Structure 1
Amino acid sequence: MTERYCNILAAVDGSPQAHQALMEAVEAARRNNARLYIAQVINSSGLLLNRATPIAQIIEEEKKAALKLLEEEVAGVDYYNKQMITCVGSPKKALCFDLPEVYKIDLIYIGATGKGKLERMLVGSTTDYVVNNAPCDVMVVR
């Protein structure tokens, strides 16, 4: 485990566990004087369900909703060195590989659960995937 973290990623999805993970990530960023990245990944696999609407329009609407959620989450965060990130793709891949590589993440905070029970069974847990595949330390928050 790294003694000092420089770049911390907090994954948010609107769930209570993700919010708690964000609050703990803020405290870890303060303790380490680290850069805090707050990310929401728009799951691209669910975007193709509505085929009557052009995909570009769907992505734009999802990005606006994601940015609104991020702004709501960050509204209570009193930390100077933070950056909000929204991206489209596989949450598992983005949180585990893409974002850590681009932003040199050395610690990921993620909620223990975020989806409903049925969806977790069908798709698999993003948290489980990140814990088992991330290239850096992962803190799971309940």
Structure 2
Amino acid sequence: MELEYKNILVAIDGSHEAKWAFEEAVKIAKDNNAKLLLVHIIEEIGLGSFESYELIITKRVESSIFEMLESYRTNAVNAGVSEVEYLIEYGSPKNIIPMGIAKQNNCDLVICGATGVNAVERFFIGSVSENIARYAPCDVLIVRNQENN
């Protein structure tokens, strides 16, 4: 039995691992003539009494993320993926991606990079990819680089 995917979500955070996940997502989307949804989650950081600075920082961050996602979108289209969208959200990626965005967009595959989270941090809070794999309503592919395979 061959799996067929029509709505693929790929988590993009600017890391090398996310780039490898994107490259794998493009291959799978082309093979399945699937829609590709590029997602970046901005983790909100409260700065307390520095609200005006937070707004300035947020606008700069949004601008650079928009440019990054637009570049990824262009690369996917140039590689032959016919339908590519992107989405920027705020909050915790480990919750929003599997329990929000993947469900709302009827994704049948979520692709993310394996993270370099250290063992202590993973023990206390868990990795984003681990939470996505645990809570997504669909298949999840965690992409590792060639050195880890």
Distance (whole Å) between structure 2 residues aligned to residue 73 and residue 96 of structure 1: 21
Provide the residue aligned with 2:118 in structure 1: 117
Asked if the contact 1:42–1:66 (Cα under 8 Å) also holds between the matched residues in 2, the reply is no
Query: What 5-or-longer segments of structure 2 have no aligned partner?
Result: 145-149
Q: How far did residue 10 of structure 1 move?
A: 0.5
Asked if the contact 1:20–1:141 (Cα under 8 Å) also holds between the matched residues in 2, the reply is yes
Provide the residue aligned with 1:71 in structure 2: 70
Asked if the contact 2:73–2:84 (Cα under 8 Å) also holds between the matched residues in 1, the reply is no
What amino acid is aligned across from residue 86 of structure 2 in structure 1? Answer: M
Provide the residue aligned with 1:3 in structure 2: 3
Identity, in percent, stands at 30
Q: Over residues 18-65 of structure 1, what are the superposed CA-to-partner deviations in whole Å (9 max), with x where a residue is unaligned?
A: 101111111111111111001111112xx2146413354443333222
Provide the residue aligned with 2:34 in structure 1: 34
Provide the residue aligned with 2:135 in structure 1: 133
- Which of 39, 44, 53 aligns to 2:51? It is 53
TM-score (norm. length: structure 2): 0.80
Distance (whole Å) between structure 2 residues aligned to residue 116 and residue 138 of structure 1: 19
TM-score (norm. length: structure 1): 0.84
Distance (whole Å) between structure 2 residues aligned to residue 96 and residue 111 of structure 1: 14
Q: How far did residue 101 of structure 1 move?
A: 1.8
Query: What 5-or-longer segments of structure 1 have no aligned partner?
Result: none
**Secondary structure of 1:48's aligned partner:** coil
Please give the root-mean-square deviation of Cα atoms over the aligned residues, in Å: 2.4
Distance (whole Å) between structure 2 residues aligned to residue 17 and residue 29 of structure 1: 18
What amino acid is aligned across from residue 85 of structure 2 in structure 1? Answer: Q
Provide the residue aligned with 2:43 in structure 1: 43
Q: Over residues 67-115 of structure 1, what are the superposed CA-to-partner deviations in whole Å (9 max), with x where a residue is unaligned?
A: 12212333432222100111111101111111112211110000011x5
